């Protein structure tokens, strides 16, 4: 059946997207974490995107250090995949970090992403 993959974790992932886009950082973080809790390691792309969504919510809450830590987990997971969508999410996350570009943790994150991409 076409909707068989649409489980609770997938729904939480979709809700995280909605809350992120609405600027509802707390709800986005909760939904992203719920999604991550429900996706097994075999769903690596879903988990990577969930990590970027969580990191984005953390930036929205101005938890920049935690966001960079979560973002790095996503980068490491995305490094094992070929995912244009994941790369787009990571690029969006990096743009959201731009207002904090002078913070050491953001510079370090950017440098690690560059090394990972090379």
Domains of the chain: 8-117 (1.25.40)
Tell me how many degrees the CA angle 54-8-81 measures, rounded to the nearest 5: 55
Element (H, E) at 79: none
pLDDT of residue 21: 95
pTM for the model stands at 0.91
Q: Extract the tokens encoding 64.
A: 């920049």
Q: Would you say residue 19 has pLDDT above 80?
A: yes
Report how far residue 61's alpha carbon sits from residue 57's, in angstroms, rounded to the nearest whole number: 6
Task: Work out the end-to-end distance of the chain between its first and last CA atoms, rounded to an integer number of angstroms.
Answer: 40
pLDDT of residue 83: 79
Q: Would you say residue 2 has pLDDT above 70?
A: no
Neighbours of 40 (CB within 10 A): 9
Report how far residue 109's alpha carbon sits from residue 30's, in angstroms, rounded to the nearest whole number: 23
Q: Which residues contact 59 (CB under 8 A, 6 or more apart)?
A: 67, 93, 96, 97, 100
pLDDT of residue 86: 85
Tens of pLDDT, residues 90-103 = 999 999 999 999 99
């Amino acid at each position: 059946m076409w909707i068989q993959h649409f489980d609770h974790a997938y729904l939480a992932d979709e809700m995280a997207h909605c809350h992120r886009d609405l600027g509802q950082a707390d709800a986005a973080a909760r939904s992203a974490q719920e999604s991550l809790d429900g996706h097994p390691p075999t769903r690596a792309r879903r988990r990577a995107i969930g990590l970027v969504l969580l990191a984005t919510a953390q930036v929205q809450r101005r938890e920049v250090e935690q966001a960079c830590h979560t973002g790095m987990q996503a980068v490491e997971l995305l490094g094992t995949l070929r995912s244009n969508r994941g790369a787009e999410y990571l690029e969006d996350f990096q743009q959201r970090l731009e207002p904090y570009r002078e913070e050491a943790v953001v510079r370090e994150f950017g440098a690690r992403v560059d090394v990972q991409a090379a």
